[in-house]
Chains A and B, each alone.
Chain A
């Protein structure tokens, strides 16, 4: 029974995810076509040549740009399904390989930042929820400042302190784990501040519940009560923040990679925005939407593990 319900839930999530991806693809198609100017002209003249009308006609035929719009849309979706995101105007390579080349450094950065953010948030929240008022005042204040600080300011402060004054960590490049520390921390700190705020509020609510009193009455130690009983309930709230986290990671990557001069998707996004390289821009957007959908499905599965009640209702 439970397995069946779980499967049905997963099926619905997959269908919804596919729907979002179809919408994102449509958005990408519309973006490509509202671009002012002739796509054929942009494609050919990116390398500085001045093509004749005959050449343009040939390019239009070659890329199917002379077909009616609905045919182009169907063709676009069809190619997308086969992993073809088109050709970058500026780099003259397929968008998929442009993204593929830069994928790993950004995944490293985002992964490290996500882990750091969750660990920091959970530690701070578990240690400080319902503690003495001055402890709470300090953490609340720090969280507020960190959550308000734009990512580039966080990064610059870390860069100044650890990179320049103390000179213990490299401030740019992609070499080794040392160069990952400051960028990952920059991404992680604002996220962890937001997560800690939410988790703390949730923990304080849960710690008021009767079952916590029962656990304490059984002689359970405070830390065990917090970690084994309260945290599990509070974590549900954390799980629903995954959309915010993935958005901050990918959006923040643009700023962090630029600031620390790291290679990655963020740099691609920034360069293609400045160059008006729309196929590459929409490619990164589609990738971001895909990441959001996949993470949401995974998180939904995690949700059913943390709180078995959600499957049956």
Chain B
């Protein structure tokens, strides 16, 4: 069983408030420079892009490179325009996508 990404949103937010969104994703972030015990190169397998959309509109994007640690933790800030749905997308080499959705409620 592989791990599911973790998303942390504040429990209660008001419109106009600046909030921190925290994400944690399980991934080996293989750089392509490491060798196996038998000397063969371990093929590169990185998450190269992280995107966050709110109500379908991009609010944050990050390009990740070989210097990013395994199991990357990414947090960012956003001014809350209103209630809505987040979509978090991690894109891997080869195009594999992990998508996680989470609803933000406002009071």
Same complex for A and B? Answer no
